[in-house]
Structure 1
Amino acid sequence: MKLGLFGGTFNPIHCGHIKAAEQIIKKIELDKVCFIPSNIPPHKEENELADANQRFKMVELAISGKHKFGISDYEILKNEKSYTVDTLKHFKEKFPTHELYFIVGHDIFNRVQTWKDYKDLFELSNFIVISRPGFSDKDDELPLAIKDDFRYYKEDSEIKFYKHKSSKLLIKTQIKGLEVSSSEIRELIKSKKPLKELVPLTVERYISNNNIYA
């Protein structure tokens, strides 16, 4: 089974996250994508970070009824900083026969050398690095800290494949989605402006009913 792991604060989850996951499933032919809301992100200082259980509930509402989506409370229950290497070790142990694909945005991945035990990451999982259309070839280069550990493998219909010395794949692809960020959505909520279907309706109602980000 090809299992995508989509981590993030999801503060809040929005339709761009959902569309990205749907496109990745089709492009990379994944069987399922598991959303993993983080508890305490190590590289993000968000003053408006909603309660971890609220963010978990919002993801749960957003993916309800989508059979190729799942959710994990692993990082929420740890109640400590969420490090990718620890999460990957957990999933590798839990699903030893699955092919794991960790999904990450291009801007975050470009700082991979700042992650805990970053050299070990590519022994544990394949990686899918996503960006929006319009990035240049320079933007598409691998970070210098890991460049020597990979070789160019192949390119197929807007997808670039690199192979790590462990034989794990690093896949770079562009996704088309809403040009929106969680921070922009929080600003709209604070300003009492309509969200215009930027988040699933069930999530919008939950935010309103619980007075989150107001």
Structure 2
Amino acid sequence: MRRIAFFGGTFDPVHIGHLTIAERLLEMFGLDEFVFIPAFHAPHKPDRPPTSAFHRYAMLCLATADNERIMVSPIEVEKGEKRYTIDTLAELRERFPDDEIFFVMGADSWTDIRTWREWEKVLTSSNHIVVSRPGYELSTGHVGQEIAKRIVDLRGCDDTRDRLQKGEHIYLTDAVEMDVSATDLRSDLSDGTLDHPDSLPPKVAKYVEKYDLYM
């Protein structure tokens, strides 16, 4: 049985913060694979059309090409329409029936989880890993007592493998933090004032320049 983590999002653009999460969680949770799932159009971001799904998928492929354990799945992009996490999780269960699945989300998504379609079912359909993010608390009161029983608090722990439990659980960790903002990157690229050029993987930076994205 393989242990696979899936990380969904717009990744507009993918940045070093995303890759750091993938690399760190691979080791912390003893994962066999880490898979990015770019959304065709995220349901919780209806007001801002993202960069085309093709470009975002291509940038992810470039960013992950050098690590054979980190992959990109077109499972949402190929649908060509808005897709909800509950539906994606159901399809992943069908495709990987014998594997242990972990769904990764940032603290911002965790904070807003009650706005997701069938959010309680989402949280009980697989394991989840919630990573910290500046400005957001990894609180638990908003999910209710029944869901809270599934939470395993790993904050302060660097090596988590011995603390993983059987069944579907929600693991909170602050050992890795998404401290780069795609929103800020888009704004900086648009203004031509990218303060931290190393926030973008080199291949992604060249791709952005080649196709004049975010300009």
What is the TM-score of this pair, normalised by structure 2?
0.87
Mapped pair 1:185 → 2:179 = no
Mapped pair 1:44 → 2:42 = no
Equivalences for residues 24-39 of structure 1 within 5 A: 24-39=25-40
**2 CA distance for matches of 1:113 and 1:48?**
23
**2 CA distance for matches of 1:192 and 1:157?**
37
When the two structures are aligned, how many residues end up with a matched partner? 209
Equivalences for residues 3-152 of structure 1 within 5 A: 3-45=4-46, 47=48, 49-132=50-133, 139-151=137-149
**1 CA distance for matches of 2:151 and 2:109?**
23
Query: What is the root-mean-square deviation in Å for CA atoms of aligned residues?
Result: 2.5
DSSP 3-state at the match of 1:149: helix
Give deviations 1:47-77, integer Å, cap 9, x for gaps: 3621011000000000002011011101001
Q: 1:151 Cα shift?
A: 1.9
DSSP 3-state at the match of 2:197: coil
Tell me whether 40-49 or 105-114 shows the greater mean CA deviation.
40-49
8 Å CA contact retained: 1:48, 1:213: no
**1 CA distance for matches of 2:124 and 2:23?**
26
- Give the letter for the 1:189 counterpart: L
Query: Which 5+ residue runs of structure 2 have no aligned equivalent?
Result: none
Q: 1:108 Cα shift?
A: 1.0
Aligned position for 1:169 = 169
Q: 1:99 Cα shift?
A: 0.4
Query: Which 5+ residue runs of structure 1 have no aligned equivalent?
Result: none
Q: 1:141 Cα shift?
A: 2.5
Aligned position for 2:206 = 205
8 Å CA contact retained: 2:155, 2:172: no
What is the TM-score of this pair, normalised by structure 1?
0.88
**1 CA distance for matches of 2:192 and 2:115?**
37
DSSP 3-state at the match of 1:73: coil
8 Å CA contact retained: 1:7, 1:38: yes
- Give the letter for the 1:158 counterpart: G
- Give the letter for the 2:146 counterpart: D
**2 CA distance for matches of 1:93 and 1:30?**
20
What percent identity do the matched residue pairs reach? 28
8 Å CA contact retained: 1:37, 1:73: yes
DSSP 3-state at the match of 1:197: helix
- Give the letter for the 2:181 counterpart: S
**1 CA distance for matches of 2:155 and 2:110?**
22
**2 CA distance for matches of 1:129 and 1:151?**
15
